[in-house]
Amino acid sequence: MGAIQAIRGTRDILPEEVGYWQHIEAIAQDILGRAAYREIRTPIFEATELFERGIGEATDVVSKEMYTFTTRGDKSITLRPEFTAGIVRSLIEHSLHAGGLQRLWATGPVFRYERPQAGRQRQFHQLDVEILGSADPRADVEVIALACDFLQALGLKNLRMDLNSVGTMSDRQHYRDALVAYFTPYKNELDADSQDRLTRNPLRILDSKDERTKVIVKDAPVLLDYLSDESKQRFEQVQQGLTDLGIDYAINPRLVRGLDYYTHTAFEIQSDDLGAQATVCGGGRYDGLVAQLGGPDTPAIGWGLGIERLILLLKQLQPTSSAAVDFYVVSRGDRAEAQSSVVAQTLRRLGFAVEVDLSGSAFGKQFKRAARSGAAACLILGDSEAENGTVQLKWLGSGNQVEMGQSDLANQADELRQQLAQARGS
């Protein structure tokens, strides 16, 4: 019988990589916390109807990519393909809107049945940010600025942002009619997916990757030409807000995003270092979604960001995740090994990160593991140290070594922190 492996389109996040994830999560908590956003955690699966009504039955996500199954109670359930619909459901169910404007964020796994490739899995992870309850263009600017601040805090480079307005539902209907009129004479020249989208969701033809279809799309009507004066004025306010903050962007009149609930502002942040899967972050405004799902009229805007793609970029900047170990403890002999646990626990309670070698092997092998651990220093206990109640402290970078009393560790904690900072170069 062969070994059982992970399902295609899923992957294990191994300990060597977890440091990247923890770094991203810590930066997100810091950036979003300082902007008064609160974390929300919604279920991984929801009623299928939520996504059909919210995202749109004509979208690729709903029609092709959802993981849907029937429960024993004959209820249709879907693993969440994105966060926004579930957050809106929670907002309505728990009357969060009664408390006024909601600034929320969430993170976790989402699921789409797609062809796996670098930066795209069938189970992947998103960071999601939402403002619910404000129609002010400043809300659009705020969430976009937070995305830029977050990516900048991670040290990412070679990023660019595309910006567009998809207007109101009325604007989009006029534009939809114009697209149908334009593409219909070319119907037989379009790829199969675009032919299907022509009557169901013609805006999605603009995203086609088929080479012939892309040629036809070049002369298609531009959405910005179909915006009402009010929508144009609003879009200008968003642009001015971004300019005031020094945020660079390019107007992309073909950017429509893939979900039916978008209105007005739509944006994507892309990286030149990701190849075909260039989009790092994308989102926009969805003023009608809350009412569409049975809640009160509530304007909203948000974005989602793929964490796996972020990690691909972070690995280019920093090939290995940073070590978290301050001290590595090696010991040899029964008394020394027993004391090593006490020494390690004393330092942990003082706030240090400590790893204990439990192998019982020769000192030489333990020292090699200490060097590979990424620790700044090695604590050594042998028969002599066990007898005298001491420990040898060796700084692995410089090779300097001193003897300390085990009972003195707590009293010298501040000095150890200073020495650690010097050893780490901070």
Domain membership flag for residue 383: yes
* CB distance 217 to 254 below 8 Å: yes
Tell whether 364 and 266 lie within a shared domain.
no
Q: What is the pLDDT of residue 55?
A: 80
In a domain? residue 172: no
- The predicted pLDDT at position 240 comes to 98
Sequence-separated contacts (24+) of 155-160 with Cβ below 8 Å? 155/314, 155/317, 156/271, 156/280, 156/310, 156/313, 156/314, 156/317, 157/273, 157/317, 158/271, 158/272, 158/273, 159/269, 159/270, 159/271, 159/272, 159/280, 160/248, 160/250, 160/269, 160/270, 160/272
49 and 151 part of one domain = yes
299 domain-assigned: yes
Is residue 176 in some structural domain? no
Task: Decide which of 317, 346, 371 is a domain's last residue.
Answer: 317
How far apart (Å, rounded) are the C-alpha atoms in residues 382 and 386? 6
pTM (two decimals)? 0.83
Considering the domain boundaries, does residue 198 fall inside one? no
- Domain end, chosen from 272, 297, 317, is at 317
- What was the pLDDT predicted at 260? 66
- CATH number of the domain where residue 302 is located: 3.30.930.10
Write the CATH number for 342: 3.40.50.800
- Pair (234, 269) in one structural domain: yes
Identify whether the C-beta of residue 267 lies closer than 8 Å to the C-beta of residue 165. no
pLDDT tens by residue, the chain, 426 residues: 789 999 999 999 998 899 899 999 999 999 999 999 999 999 999 999 999 888 877 677 887 899 999 999 999 999 999 999 999 999 999 999 999 999 999 999 999 998 887 777 999 999 999 999 999 999 999 999 999 999 999 998 889 999 999 999 899 889 989 999 999 999 999 998 898 888 888 888 887 888 999 999 989 999 899 999 999 999 999 999 999 999 999 999 888 776 667 889 999 999 887 766 688 999 999 998 999 999 999 999 999 999 999 998 888 887 766 557 899 999 999 999 999 999 999 999 999 999 999 999 999 999 999 998 889 999 999 999 999 999 999 999 899 999 999 999 989 999 999 999 888 775
Do 313 and 333 fall into the same domain?
A: no
Tokens 């170069």, residue? 425
One-letter amino acid of 70: T
CB 268 within 8 A of CB 255: yes
Are residues 47 and 110 both part of a single domain?
yes
Q: Does any domain span residue 118? A: yes
The domain of 351 spans: 327-424
In a domain, 181, yes or no: no
Note whether 113 and 261 are same-domain residues. Answer: yes
Are 244 and 384 contained in the same domain?
no
Distance, CA of 322 to chain centre: 19
Same domain, 313 and 343: no
In this structure, the answer to whether residues 130 and 262 fall within a common structural domain is yes
Domain assignment of residue 24, yes or no: yes
Last residue within a domain, chosen from 290, 317, 344: 317
Number of domains in the chain: 2
Cα→Cα distances 363→50, 147, 150, 207, 397, Å: 61, 49, 44, 61, 18
In terms of domains, do 26 and 131 share one? Answer: yes
Residue 259 sits in the same domain as residue 149: yes
380 & 231 share domain:
no
Q: What is the pLDDT of residue 172?
A: 86
Strand order in the sheet with 102-111: 38-39, 102-111, 123-132, 300-306, 279-285, 263-271, 159-165, 250-251
State residue 274's pLDDT score. Answer: 72
